[in-house]
Structure 1
Amino acid sequence: MKAITQAGELFKIYHELDEKLFDGKLGSDIQVKVAPLRKTNISFVHHKWNGVGHPPDSEILINEKLLVEPKETWLAMLVHGMIHFWQYKYGESKPPKHKHNKEFRLKAETLGLIIPDEYSSEQEITQDGKFMEVSKNIDVTSIDIPSDYAYQLEEKPKTKLVTYTCPQCSTSIKSKPGIISICGNCIGDIPDWLQPFIMKPEE
């Protein structure tokens, strides 16, 4: 039941992006979901699902780990999938799966997404582009975050460092509470039996 609710909320966001970035031309014959994708952040499959009493639905999957990132990150990936959908519906060329030809990259650029080349999986968001302007007003608070990644949003307590000072030469170091420190300046030659226990800074 929760998954159905999540899909419904994602579709509302899709619909809003369709209206504001694609003039509402993409339509409703698509399913938008999150999934634990292993090798990519977005997946688009044309006519993935056979319709019952209606044409087949395409599918956009968003990598669930992106939901802990700023909303612009995963919304941009959703729009990326929507550009694939647009190209299959209205583009003059239908490139192989995951290929971003010139037509695809030009469409992305008009929306404020820059894709370096046809095989790149990276994209850059133009800060003054149309996508950023639209995404600022999209409410994503209804989207649940997978528990596997929710811990990344938790603010981890910072360990407070304390100062250790040698009573002989006043040399000071900062470290975590509870350690035993020996001043290397004052101890002189360190016995062989103690050598294996000396902690050294990482290079």
Structure 2
Amino acid sequence: MRRSLKGFGDLCAAALVLAVCGWSPDAQAASGPASKAISVCHGYGCSFRSKLVLGPGDYSRIQAIMRAGARSPAAERAALKRAVQYFEERSAQVIGVRDNPKAAFGAARIKGQMDCIDESSNTTAFLHYLAGRGFLKFHKVGSKVSRGFFLDGRYPHWTAIVIDPRGVRWVVDSWYAPTGGAPDIFPYEEWKVRGVLQSGALD
């Protein structure tokens, strides 16, 4: 069930403050062939962190998912959607709570619920995991980006980024889907001009 955005200002308003202050959660550097611990943010603004260890079994499953994307950049982005879904399911197992789509007024500092800062931080950490193990053949991980700053009539919103061989930036935005839902993956140039209610590729 999609949750109301009423009062959304106190949810991602923190994103504006953090952006102005130059704060951006560091992505986890990936190293080693199999096991990796990732700190999963939740509770809005990374108020809580839960340790997720992706072990050899996870490695094999993610490797199989990403192999399906070995033909082209477009195929890799399709595989990336499925890999992010797997990562989110594993994150929910560790946290013990499933996140709802978008963000809800009054859910700040509730374990398991995620705002755009949590989502973009977690997705970026997972993208570095993929890159560090050679699973990204056609893309590299970019820095997180944001859109909106209240004065332009839009709430601040953050997303993870991958960059294709042509230098085109693609958003990997998990905020619009519940835990385990497919993230939005489409060009940043389309994403950056949208309002908070708009998700998905134009086609």
TM-score, normalisation: structure 1:
0.25
Bigger Rg over Cα: 1
TM-score, normalisation: structure 2:
0.25
Structure with more helix by fraction: 1
